[in-house]
């Protein structure tokens, strides 16, 4: 019943629009701040690894191993990926363009931050992002996806038709 409300109700579309704007603003400003002021994830990653010890570690050992073996050696990649990922997720959510992809990628980043021992606003953002995912197309009724998604579907369909005709 709740899922049907999120996916079909016009009033829910308005609420989802507000959720999109809130999440989009949070992501966009976080990313923009990192892009303009510089960002180095090394200290954060090192701190997360250090939080994996003790009787009740904030970071699980398997995640700390991932951070040590992959994230820290590739910190330059993450120094670009995180700010631009945050910015693009925010832009997508605010404009309502590729909304479900933006919401999903935001949730992935929120979980990465949570796994790294940072709570902050991440749990709330995960819940709100999940509402956008569950709502699907209704979350994009007020946004550019209303035109972008049909255009992409039509273009993809036309390309398939042309491929069939040429073979």
**Mean pLDDT, 10 residues at a time, the chain of 167 residues:** 91 95 98 97 96 93 97 98 98 95 97 95 96 92 88 78 69
Q: How far apart are CA 5 and CA 46, in angstroms?
A: 44
Q: Angle between the 99-115 and 10-37 helix axes, to the nearest 10 degrees?
A: 60
pLDDT of residue 151: 86
Q: How far apart are CA 116 and CA 65, in angstroms?
A: 11
Q: How far apart are CA 78 and CA 46, in angstroms?
A: 13
pLDDT of residue 161: 66
pLDDT of residue 154: 84
**For the chain, what are the domain ranges?**
2-166
- Give phi and psi for 135, each to the nearest 5: -70, -25
pLDDT of residue 51: 95
The pTM assigned to this predicted structure is 0.87
């Amino acid at each position: 019943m709740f899922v049907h409300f999120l996916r079909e109700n016009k009033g829910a579309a308005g609420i989802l629009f507000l959720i999109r704007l809130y999440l989009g603003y949070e992501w966009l400003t976080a990313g923009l701040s990192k892009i303009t002021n510089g960002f180095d994830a090394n200290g954060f990653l090192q701190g997360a690894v250090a939080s994996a010890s003790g009787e009740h570690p904030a970071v699980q050992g398997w995640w700390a191993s991932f951070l040590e073996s992959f994230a820290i050696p590739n910190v330059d990649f993450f120094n670009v990926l995180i700010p631009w990922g945050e910015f693009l997720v925010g832009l997508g959510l605010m404009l309502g363009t590729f909304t479900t992809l933006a919401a999903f990628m935001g949730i992935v980043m929120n979980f990465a931050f949570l796994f790294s021992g940072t709570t902050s606003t991440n749990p709330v953002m995960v819940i709100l992002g999940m509402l956008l995912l569950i709502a699907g197309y209704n979350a994009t009724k007020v946004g550019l996806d209303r035109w972008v998604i049909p255009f992409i579907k039509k273009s993809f369909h036309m390309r398939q038709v042309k491929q069939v005709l040429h073979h």
